[in-house]
Structure 1
Amino acid sequence: MIKEWRRRRAVQRVKPGDGRPLKCFRWWQLPFRALFHLRLTSDGGRHTVYAVDVRHWQNHSSDSLKAHLYREGRLHAMSTLPAAFPVPGGTVEVRMSAFGVKRCHYVTDNGPQYQLVPDPHSAEGRRARLERERPALSRAIGLLSLCVLVAALAVLIPHVAEQLTKSEGIAQRTGTFTSPIDLPRWGDIALGFAAVAASTERALRLRYSWLLDGGAG
């Protein structure tokens, strides 16, 4: 019920495009542009190519960050994020996290959903190519990212508990808690950078967990 209500609200934010052409992906856009493609086939066998273009990290304000939907290379529609673009047979949903795209899927009217294909020149496309060509290395990198985030969470939770129990009102009821993990300042900084890198790597694979990646943000 709530998910459907959010989708309807997102659809209402969609505005028509002006037909401008889709610009090619340039290497220097790797840190702040995501580009995904979707090829749909009608009942008559006609193919239509859609593209979702998101310029993230340029301005992360929720009021200005937009997704653009292109049809056959021309701007068809645009929306602030999270976005839900109606297309034949379903909806293209786009959502962002603090580290990149966390969802870019074609959700069909009858239930199944499919992730859009990242442009091969984009950071997401290059990460997908590594997964295809070097699956063992890809899994190792993914596992390392997961371990870093779990370690960061293991440090964060006791630290938050310690800060909360320093409050006089809470301390009188529960007593104080001292975190068993006490990293030096440089260790906290290094772990923070590692967690950001790990969440960014997961975002390139459109992996997101509110507990792990949300905590890193």
Structure 2
Amino acid sequence: MIEDWRQRRAAKRIKSGDGRALKRLRWWQLPFRALFHLPLADGDGRQTVYAVDIPRRTDPEGGKARAHLYLDGRHHAESKLPAVFPVEGGIIEVAISAFGLKRCHYVTTAGAEHPLIPDPKSAEGRRARVEHEHPTLSRSISFLSVLMLLIGVGLNLLQLAEPMSRIPPIAENIGTFDSPIHLPIWLNLALAVGAALGSTERALRLRHSVLDHAGK
């Protein structure tokens, strides 16, 4: 029931497209644009290609980022994020986090989920190529991302617990906590940057968890 309500709400955010052509992804747009593709066969056996274009910027009118759906290279629809686009045989779900995409999936009417294919020239596509061509390197990068998140979030939360424990209601009921770690400001900033980089790398693979949210 909650999922149906969410989809109905998302459907109200959809606007019809204007038919403009999908522009090619340029190398200098890597930090500012994500592009994914979904080829589907229709009932007549003809292949239809959907594309989801997500500029990494907020909408000047509504203040929220938007996703644009293209059908066979023409602008078909757009929506504020999170977005749910009805397509042949199901829906496309798009959602973002503070560090990038956390979801861009095709969900069939039967409930099966399939991530869309990142454009080879996009940041997500380049990361996927590393995973395909250099799996050992890819696993090392993934491990390093999680490690940076764990260290950055863990140490900062540990230090944050001390001043929070001194809030009178908390101190009276639970007691105070003295953190065994006190890092200089520059190191705390470096850990925060490292955690953000780790979450950004995971977003390139559409990975997102509570840990990534804490890294914000």
Q: Distance in 2 between matches of 1:152 and 1:60?
A: 31
Question: How far is the alpha carbon of 1:3 from its aligned partner?
Answer: 2.5
- The SS at the match of 2:159 is helix
Q: How does 1:23-38 map to 2 (within 5 A)?
A: 23-38=23-38
Q: Judge conservation of contact 1:95–1:103 (CA < 8 Å) in 2.
A: yes
- Name the aligned partner's letter for residue 98 of structure 1: A
The 5 Å alignment of 1:1-217 reads: 1-56=1-56, 58-59=57-58, 63-209=63-209, 211-217=210-216
Q: Which amino acid aligns with 2:40?
A: L
- In the alignment of these two chains, the number of paired residues is 215
Secondary structure of the structure 2 residue equivalent to 1:179: coil
RMSD after superposition: 1.4
Shift of 1:81: 0.3
1:181-204 per-position Cα deviation (integer Å, ceiling 9, x unaligned): 211111101101101111000000
Q: Is the partner of 2:20 in helix, strand or coil?
A: coil
**Structure 2 length-normalised TM:** 0.95
Percent of aligned positions with the same letter in both sequences?
55
String of CA shifts for 1:6-55, please: whole Å, max 9, x gaps. Answer: 12211221110000000000000000100000000023211000000000
Aligned equivalents of 2:73 and 2:59: distance in 1? 26
Structure 2 residue matching 1:86: 3-state secondary structure:
strand
Q: Is the 8 A contact 2:153 2:192 kept in 1?
A: no
Contact 2:58 2:66 in 1 (8 A): no
**Secondary structure, counterpart of 1:18 in structure 2:** coil
Aligned partner of residue 214 in structure 1, secondary structure: helix
TM-score (norm 1): 0.95
Read off the aligned partner of 1:83 and give its amino acid letter.
A
Structure 1 gap ranges (5+): none
Partner SS for 1:59: coil
